[in-house]
A and B are shown apart, each in its own frame.
Chain A
């Protein structure tokens, strides 16, 4: 099956900083989603983005399907952005191992 890799595994930033999280996948995808898992364990949908670019406030995402990667951009980080960010690919969602983001006040 498809392999999904995320980098970096951990990221510690000062409040207000920008960050880029990367998701590489081993095969073509028909579904690509980004999630934020908050400290309470909830999985929150960020983007459904099998291709192209989308923006939602301080967050944006780009998927380049032909090159098998997706990027999640977070600008002007806030402490509430802390948590684990997952990308997941294809119909039954194969998840990456996540990027743990910690925002320091």
Chain B
């Protein structure tokens, strides 16, 4: 158990819908990262937050947004969902903005 908690574990929804994925980092970790793992793109970095502030952006679509709350948990919002958004979404956390990252078990999103 990495100490990073993600919910929900599985989610099935329809095209055009909006979903929210939630992540609680390890106790004491200030930085949260989001990754997408799809069959054709592999594991890709989406976005990083550090102590509530956006720190870095990767290949995140405009239809996706995220935030980190004062209690340090984070949410990834995916809207106007398309079939191609079906993927495993991981959250990771680290103590500072660098160093070793620890991953949650992922949220598997299926868009039908």
Please report A residues at the B interface, Cβ cutoff 8 Å.
Answer: 30-31, 33, 35, 41-45, 48, 86, 88, 91-95, 97-98
Contacts and interface: CB of A to CB of B under 8 A. Distances in A.
Contacts of B101: 33, 93
B100 A93 contact: no
Contact of A94 (B33, B45, B97, B99): B45
Nearest to A43: B103
The 5 closest A-B pairs by CB, nearest first: A48-B100, A95-B43, A43-B103, A91-B98, A92-B45
Given A41-B105, A41-B106, A45-B103, A91 B97 contact: yes
Contacts, number: 45
**What's the dominant secondary structure at chain B's contact region?**
strand
Interface residues of B, number: 23
Interface of B: 2, 33, 35, 42-45, 48, 56, 58, 88, 90, 92, 97-103, 105-106, 108
A31 B31 CA distance: 15
Contacts of B88: 41
A92 B58 contact: yes
A31 B98 contact: yes
A60 B103 CA distance: 21
A6 to B, nearest CB: 11
A23 to B, nearest CB: 14
A95 B42 contact: yes
